[in-house]
């Protein structure tokens, strides 16, 4: 875990930074931040400590991330209006 949680005082040891919360939930930090940006995960408010700004995640927040872990699939999305089966194209002369 990062040393961020030990530098910020007074803070409970059960609170995690975004990097630590992502690692605890088993997802990449970039994925967690993207899900926050898209509104898929409700993130804690940003706290300002000195010149630094950070989110402090509780164990309940980490569980929320874990619950969302398998629900979002990456990759191209198909067009639902397009028919799945297409008529085959015939080659040659039609007669």
Q: What is the CATH classification number for the domain harbouring 55?
A: 1.10.1660
Residue 77 included in any domain: no
Average pLDDT over residues 26-39: 90
| 25 pLDDT more than 60 | yes
- 29 lies in some domain: yes
- Residue 10 contacts residue 16 (beta carbons within 8 Å): no
Whether residue 82 lies inside any domain: the answer is no
Q: What pLDDT sits at residue 29?
A: 92
Which structural domain, as residue segments, surrounds residue 15? 4-68
Distances, alpha carbon 85 to alpha carbons 76, 81, 90, in Å = 19, 12, 15
Residue at 56 is within a domain: yes
pLDDT at residue 44 in the model:
92
Structural domains counted in the chain: 1
Residue 85 belongs to a domain: no
Q: Examine the pLDDT at 45 and tell me if it is beyond 70.
A: yes
Task: Tell whether the model's pLDDT for residue 39 goes beyond 60.
Answer: yes
CA distance 60 to 75: 29
For 94, the token pair is 């039609």
Q: How many helices (H) and strands (E) does the chain have?
A: 4, 2
Over residues 47-87, the pLDDT tens digits come to: 998 898 889 999 889 998 888 877 656 656 666 666 555 66
């Amino acid at each position: 875990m990062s040393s961020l949680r030990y530098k910020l005082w007074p803070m409970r040891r059960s609170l995690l930074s975004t990097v630590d919360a992502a690692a605890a939930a088993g997802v990449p930090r970039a994925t967690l931040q993207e899900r926050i940006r898209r509104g898929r995960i409700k993130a804690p408010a940003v706290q300002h400590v000195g010149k630094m700004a950070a989110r402090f995640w509780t164990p309940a927040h980490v569980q929320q991330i874990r619950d969302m872990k398998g629900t979002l699939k990456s990759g191209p999305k198909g067009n639902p209006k397009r028919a799945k089966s297409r008529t085959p194209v015939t080659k040659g002369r039609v007669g």
